[in-house]
A and B are shown apart, each in its own frame.
Chain A
Amino acid sequence: MSESDNELVQLCLKGNATAQKRLYEGFASKMTGVCYRYARNGEDARDILQEGFIKVFTRLKSFKGDGPLEAWIRRIMVNTALDFIKARSKNLFEDEEKIEIKNHATNPEVLHKLQSEDLVNCISKLPEGFKAVFNLYAIEGFSHKEVGEALGITESTSRSQYTRARVKLEQIIQQRFKVKEYERV
């Protein structure tokens, strides 16, 4: 943790409102991006972000400083987002099992045409279970074992769901790009 982060945390722990706002402003944009990936829409993302930052400030005492502050906040946001998803759908992979993925071949080039906002919008279109597995594995960098622990599924389920999620995401991206090209014409 940097010296400035350390000072900021200490001031926040003392209840300094200015420091709290500085901490919020320092990470709000990045964390909004994280929340958007798990949310269905902007309103959900706002709720997750709000909930997540309340947790950050109320649990700041438990931050030991043995890693970057950003990573700690990000972990809280991800956990808050997962709680949000779990609260909304009892069985995360109920619908995902019914989704038929015909072609499991992936196209490595598909991401190169994308802007960051496009990708996040496409991720948000994924079914909840796919979205959770994809975000945790591909974006957050969890192992399948860690994904399984976070979502209460087995490692092999995480692996298979991730494969299906990636194919589904590519389909959404391709579909979206066609639409975009059509719109431009």
Chain B
Amino acid sequence: MKEFENDNWELKARQLADAFQPTPDDSVWLNVEATLKQKKRRGFFFLLFSAIGVAGLVYGGVTLYLLNAGDKYASFQNNVEGKVESTTQKNISIEIKSPSVTVAENSVFEKAQVTASNKLANKEKGVSKNISSSTNLNTVINENQSMGIPEVIVSEPSLNTSVANLKALPLLFSSLNFSENISSPDKISVSQTDYVNKIHRWMLLASTSYMNQHSVLQSIDSFKTFQKQDANYFDGSLNLIYQFPKAKNLELNFGIGFYEMSQNYAESKYLVFTTYDTTTGAPLALHDKLIDTESGSEFFRNGYLDFGIGLPIISGKKFSWNLNSGVRTEYLLKYSTTSSIATVPNTFSNAVYSIEAISQNTVNRIYLKGILNSSLRYSLSQKLGLQTGINSSYSLTDRYKKSGSLHQHDLNYGINLGLLYRF
């Protein structure tokens, strides 16, 4: 800080300026108070929805893991039972690695039927044996036992399969009921290809919606004035959907989207004012109870993030009817407003002030919407589908005018059409 106490001019200027302490307008505190309350409420809802979001992610992650683990077991069973029991073209080679271990009865292996011609190879002894199509795998195992061949490797080279180490899959092995006195097979082939193609859990949905928005703006001052605003707009979104086949096709839905919208408004109010002669400054007339109509438009550009949960109400081979509910956070990317000239009688024209001056702290606000969507899906092919339905959402936000605060209720509804890709 400079030392300017010696400068009388600046000192006097400072004293004069500091002595000016006008009483501020009452609306300032009301707006400050309303903003603080909203921030507090927003903080609470932010925490609440963050907690719900985190819980949802944890729940989804755990479910995903458990279902994956379950599917690996199911997939393994399918591989063992299916490939061994019903496949007629595939070769299964069984390698004997060490002569010291015996194999006990096993429910999976018991069921297995080798239906194709198989080769039994004993690398150590150099023995190779064909197995007939009706040979029970148990028989093979028994034969192996009688030949002192205890440890098996089931492999399927023709399918170019991935090989998993069974010792690394405790969950899988816990249900295979190997007796304690034996060691598990070192390697077993698990084909993933069929599983991925048969169950489409992930879906990508690109959709566009035609939406209507009905807004009611209610002032929170003592007058409780209302203003209605309507708008139509197109909305584009991209959603990633995860389906849980084991949980009746319950879906988790994550989406991003974007829309632009212009809202027209018309507001009428009574005016009381005096007109003056522009030359002399003398008052000409007092106008009382004249209706002044203000009109204009507001422009919004919003981006949003969706999180939702969906369930199919009816699910057929090609058709399904889904219901989805969730929450949306919207981010105001751009806002602008225009207003027209209001004209009152006596040829007196007065430029209307900017109706809605949103202050800096209100612009770029994030707020929440509740969403409820219903949609019909039709599968065009194994990977492609069409989706159409109705969207609806509701939100309550606080906005700030120079003259006071407003509650804005927004009801959105519309139809959507989208393309679904399963992968």
Interface residues in chain A, defined as those with a beta carbon under 8 Å from any beta carbon in chain B: 15, 17, 20-21, 24, 28-33, 36-37, 42-43, 46-47, 49-51, 53-54, 57-58, 83, 87, 106, 108, 111-112, 114-117, 119-120, 123, 137-139, 141-144, 146, 166
Chain A contact surface mostly: helix
C-alpha spacing A46/B29, complex, angstroms: 10
In the assembled complex, which residues on chain A have CB atoms less than 8 Å from the CB atom of B361?
51, 54
Given contacts A47-B402, A119-B13, A139-B14, 6 further A-B contacts (CB under 8 A): A33-B17, A43-B402, A87-B360, A106-B9, A119-B16, A119-B17
Q: Are B36 and A57 in contact (CB under 8 A)?
A: yes
Q: Are B1 and A141 in contact (CB under 8 A)?
A: yes
Q: Are B2 and A142 in contact (CB under 8 A)?
A: yes
- Top-7 shortest CB links A-B: A116-B19, A116-B20, A29-B21, A143-B2, A33-B20, A32-B24, A119-B16
| Nearest A-chain residue to B12, judged by Cβ | A111
Q: Are A53 and B32 in contact (CB under 8 A)?
A: yes
C-alpha spacing A144/B23, complex, angstroms: 31
- Which of A32, A141, A166 interacts with B22 by CB under 8 Å? A32
Q: Could you tell me which residues of chain B, from 4 to 18, have a CB within 8 Å of some CB in chain A?
A: 4, 8-10, 12-14, 16-18
Closest CB of chain B to A107's CB: distance in Å? 9
Residue among A30, A36, A119 facing the most chain B CB atoms (10 A cut-off): A119
In the assembled complex, which residues on chain B have CB atoms less than 8 Å from the CB atom of A30?
18, 21
- Which of A20, A46, A142 interacts with B25 by CB under 8 Å? A46
Q: Given A33-B22, A143-B2 in contact, is the A51-B16 Cβ separation under 8 Å?
A: no
| Nearest B-chain residue to A170, judged by Cβ | B9
Closest CB of chain B to A32's CB: distance in Å? 4
In the assembled complex, which residues on chain A have CB atoms less than 8 Å from the CB atom of B33?
17, 20-21
C-alpha spacing A49/B2, complex, angstroms: 26
Q: Are B23 and A111 in contact (CB under 8 A)?
A: no
In the assembled complex, which residues on chain B have CB atoms less than 8 Å from the CB atom of A49?
24, 28
Q: Could you tell me which residues of chain B, from 373 to 416, have a CB within 8 Å of some CB in chain A?
A: 402
Q: Are B20 and A46 in contact (CB under 8 A)?
A: no
Q: Are B16 and A138 in contact (CB under 8 A)?
A: no
Q: Does B162 contact A (CB under 8 A)?
A: no
C-alpha spacing A108/B11, complex, angstroms: 11
Residue among B1, B22, B31 facing the most chain A CB atoms (10 A cut-off): B22
| Nearest B-chain residue to A145, judged by Cβ | B2
Q: Are B18 and A112 in contact (CB under 8 A)?
A: no
Q: Does B167 contact A (CB under 8 A)?
A: no
